Amino acid sequence: MTLRTAHIGLNVTDLDRSLAFYRDVLGFALLAEGKEDDRRYAFLGDGGDQPVLTLWQQARAPYEAGRAGLHHLALTADSVDRVREYETALRAAGVDFAHEGVVAHREGSASGGIFFHDPDGTRLEISVPHGAEDAPAPHGSAPTCGFF
């Protein structure tokens, strides 16, 4: 038996703000929500009935890149055009980007995408395995998905 990722859980500082971002900007569907003051959470899905992302209002401070734990959350899209549609929506929402536009994962790579931050500063990626052949690579010697 091979293990697979069942869902990703993120601690957030403000569930309402994060839920609006992941639901309204990225398009995740709300499956369930806990609204008790000391137990606020949201289970988000991608069209099925199983959660793929859970948000837990348990953080007291924003994401910290220098701490052990999540490096970044990578999501995949079905085409580079769809990645660009997400980029447009994210820019309209005022999201902070790590690089300008679609970038290649490394020099000469066909894979690439966009790299940005959620409302708590968690690093996110939306990419495709091919279609970014003409996109620049921000770093010649390090992978883009490393958020270097």
- Contact present, 144 and 115 (Cβ < 8 Å): yes
- For the chain, how long is the longest CA-to-CA vector? 50
CB within 8 Å of 1: residues ≥ 6 apart: none
| Both tokens assigned to 141 | 């010697």
39: helix, strand or coil: strand
Q: Burial, 125: exposed, middle or buried (Cβ in 10 Å; 0-12, 13-18, 19+)?
A: buried
Q: Burial, 28: exposed, middle or buried (Cβ in 10 Å; 0-12, 13-18, 19+)?
A: buried
Residue 49 backbone class (left: φ over 0; alpha: ψ -120 to 50; beta: rest): alpha
Q: Which amino acids are annotated catalytic?
A: 125
